[in-house]
Amino acid sequence: MLEVVLVSTLAGLLGSLTGLGGASVTIPFLVLLGVPVKHAVASGLISVIATSSGSSSSFLREGVTSLKAAMFLECFTITGAILGALLTVNVSSTAVALSFSAVMILSLLLTRLTGSHQGPEGVRQDRVSAWLGLEGSYFDASLGREVRYRLTNAVYGGLAMVWAGAVAGMLGIGAGAFKVAIHELVLRMPTKVSTSTSNLIMGMTALAGAGVYVASGLMVLDLAAPMALGTTLGSIAGSSLLTRIRDVNLRRLYFVLAGVSAAVMLYRALVLGV
């Protein structure tokens, strides 16, 4: 039990810093130790809520998060999360483990495409984004100035977020890589706003998936609680460090974490069996 708390604390710290989410690291570890995949996935969503709530509390107070964008995109992610969780309830554990590994590899590829930009300049808003008022500003401590931004392609971004939500609900993770990729490549969100908004959306998305798992008998209390406790502690520490670390270093850390998680789940599914 205490081992789960300690590992989850480290995973929560790293997950909060990178936007990956602690569950992406904790779930493969628990599966490797013999915890059934679907129980680990269901309990993972509780730790995603914890990670999100812990880190979002300070992001919100610092004014980095785009709350309106989050509310709009959550309409799409919760729909995806419910569908994804229903899928996990109905498919084999091996399929879930292989999907997990594939999603981690895909997230590595996606992350290579996303932002080294601190704030996209000259974005022309489309009509829907302008109508929704999807714009804002935040103070970037690493740049030492106020960064203003405008979002675009709200409808396309929203539709893509259904898929990100489905990945989160199906695999018990925050799916931060997909959310961040959609934020930056489609909506043209600055990296720090993208990371903090992704953190906020993760919690609501995970809640939708967890609602399905609570009603399907896959949630395990003595697994969910230590995972949630550890990731909450880690994410609070991580969020206080985020604005002091350069984006390029966060990105390198992300690559290592996603790669290890993918390898572990593949090993568990193909070599040890689930």
Partner 1 sequence: MELERALGFLMLAGTLVSLASMALGISLYVLREGEQVSVSDQWVVRSNSFLEFVAGIGSTGSAAALLMRLGVAALMLTPYSRAVVSLIYFARRRDLKFVAITGLVVTVLSMLLFMPT
* Residue that has been written with the tokens 């008998």 in this structure: 217
Q: Does 223 bind partner 1 (CB under 8 A)?
A: yes
Site track for partner 1 across 99-138, x = CB under 8 A: --------------------------------xxx-----
CA distance linking residue 27 with residue 9, whole number of Å: 13
* Structure token pair of residue 99: 């999907």
Q: Which of residues 72-91 bind partner 1 (CB under 8 A)?
A: 72, 74-75, 78-79, 82
Task: Answer for the pair 160, 119: CB distance below 8 angstroms, yes or no.
Answer: no
Least distance from partner 1 to the Cβ atom of residue 95, Å: 20
Residue 104's φ and ψ, nearest 5 degrees, are -65, -40
Q: In angstroms, how far is the first alpha carbon of the chain from the final one? A: 21
In the complex, minimum distance from the CB of residue 171 to partner 1, in angstroms, rounded to a whole number: 19
Q: Are 215 and 57 in contact (CB under 8 A)?
A: no
- Whole-number Cα distances in Å, 269 to 23, 100, 108, 121: 18, 10, 20, 45
CB 174 within 8 Å of CB 21: yes
Instruction: Using the minimum distance from each CB to partner 1, give the nearer residue, 114 or 199.
Output: 199
Span near partner 1 by CB under 8 A; candidates 32-40, 109-117, 169-177, 259-267? 32-40
**Whose Cβ is closer to partner 1: residue 75's or residue 109's?**
75
Nearer CB in complex with partner 1: 65/114: 65
138 in helix, strand or coil? strand
Question: How many residues are present in the chain?
Answer: 274
Query: Minimal distance in Å, beta carbon 106 to partner 1?
Result: 26
Q: What is the CA radius of gyration of the chain?
A: 17
Site for partner 1 in 48-67 (CB under 8 A): 49-50, 52-54, 56-61, 63, 65, 67
Angle between helix 37-62 and 93-113 (nearest 10): 30
Considering the rule CB under 8 A, would residue 139 count as an interface residue with partner 1?
no
Q: Which is nearer to partner 1, 39 or 188 (CB)?
A: 39
What is the phi-psi region of residue 125: left when phi exceeds 0, alpha when psi lies from -120 to 50, beta otherwise?
A: beta
Q: Which residues pair with 149 in a beta bridge?
A: 136
Q: How far is the CB of 99 from partner 1 (least distance, A)?
A: 21
d(CA 150, CA 258): 30
Site for partner 1 (CB under 8 A): which residue of 102, 185, 225, 237?
Answer: 225
Local structure of 243: helix, strand or coil: coil
Among 46, 97, 108, 181, binds partner 1 (CB under 8 A): 46
Number of residues binding to partner 1, judged by CB under 8 A: 59
- Give the contact letters, 177-216, x = binds to partner 1 (CB under 8 A), - = no: --------------------------xx-xxx-xxx-xx-
Residues near partner 1 (CB under 8 A) are: 1-5, 35-36, 39, 46, 49-50, 52-54, 56-61, 63, 65, 67-68, 71-72, 74-75, 78-79, 82, 131-133, 203-204, 206-208, 210-212, 214-215, 217-226, 228-229, 232-233, 236
